[in-house]
Copies of this chain bind each other. A is one copy, B any other.
Amino acid sequence: MLNDLFDPKAVAIIGASQDPTKIGNAVLRNMIDSGYGGKIIPINPSSPEVMGLKCHPSIDDLESVPDLAVIALPANRVYDALGACVKKGVNYVIVIAGGFSELGKEGKEREQQMKNLITNTPTRIIGPNTLGVYFPHSGVNTSLTSRGMISFLPKGNIAFVSQSGALGLLTMDAVSEYNVGISAFLNLGNRIDLNEVELLDYFASDKNTKSIVLYLESVPKGREFFDKVKLVSPKKPVIILKSGRTQESAIAASLHTGAMASNDAIVDGAISQSGAVRAFDETEMMDYSRVLAYSSKLRGDRIAILTTAGGVGVITADYVSSSINGVGLKMAKFSDETKSKIREVIVPFASANNPIDLTADGSISDFDKVIGILENDENVDGIIAYPLPQTPRMGVGVVEVIDKYKNEKKPIVVGVLGSQIAKDLIVEFEKRKIPAYPSVHRTVKAVKALRVYSAYVERRESQ
A interface, CB within 8 angstroms of B:
98-99, 102-103, 145, 149-151, 162-171, 173-174, 176-177, 215, 217, 241, 243-246, 248-249, 251-253, 255-257, 280-284, 308-315, 317-319, 321-322, 325-326, 331, 348-349, 351, 353-355, 357, 359-360, 388-392, 417-422, 438-441
Contact = CB atoms under 8 A, between A and B. Distances in A.
A453 to B, nearest CB: 18
Copies in the complex: 2
B441 A331 contact: no
Contacts of A171: 417
A315 B150 contact: no
Contacts of A314: 164, 217, 243-244, 249, 252-253, 256
A315 B240 CA distance: 13
A284 B441 CA distance: 10
A357 B248 contact: no
A246 B170 CA distance: 37
A333 to B, nearest CB: 9
Given A246-B321, A257-B310, A321-B246, A241 B315 contact: yes
Contacts of A418: 150, 170, 173-174
A112 to B, nearest CB: 18
Given A251-B353, A314-B244, A309 B176 contact: no
A30 to B, nearest CB: 14
Most buried by B among A174, A245, A283: A245
Contacts of A150: 390, 418-419, 421
Contact of A417 (B163, B282, B440): B282
A440 B282 contact: yes
A104 to B, nearest CB: 9
Contact of A170 (B103, B168, B249, B417): B417
A319 B273 CA distance: 23
A165 to B, nearest CB: 8
Given A167-B312, A311-B162, A174 B351 contact: no
A390 B309 contact: no
Contacts of A325: 245, 280
Nearest to A145: B390
B103 A388 contact: no
B441 A281 contact: yes
A412 to B, nearest CB: 20
Given A103-B349, A167-B315, A388-B166, A417 B173 contact: yes
Nearest to A103: B349
11 contacts: A102-B349, A145-B390, A166-B312, A166-B391, A167-B311, A170-B312, A177-B419, A177-B420, A217-B314, A243-B314, A280-B325
Given A151-B419, A246-B317, A353 B170 contact: no
Nearest to A176: B419
B217 A174 contact: no
Nearest to A282: B440
Q: Which 6 A-B pairs have the closest CB atoms?
A: A167-B311, A164-B311, A166-B309, A256-B310, A249-B317, A173-B418
A282 B252 contact: no
A391 B248 CA distance: 26
A227 to B, nearest CB: 25
Nearest to A394: B149
A43 to B, nearest CB: 24
B309 A170 contact: yes
A419 to B, nearest CB: 5
B249 A321 contact: yes
Contact of A390 (B103, B149, B164, B392): B149
A173 B416 CA distance: 12
Given A98-B349, A170-B388, A252-B357, 7 more contacts: A167-B309, A215-B311, A244-B314, A245-B322, A249-B331, A257-B310, A281-B440
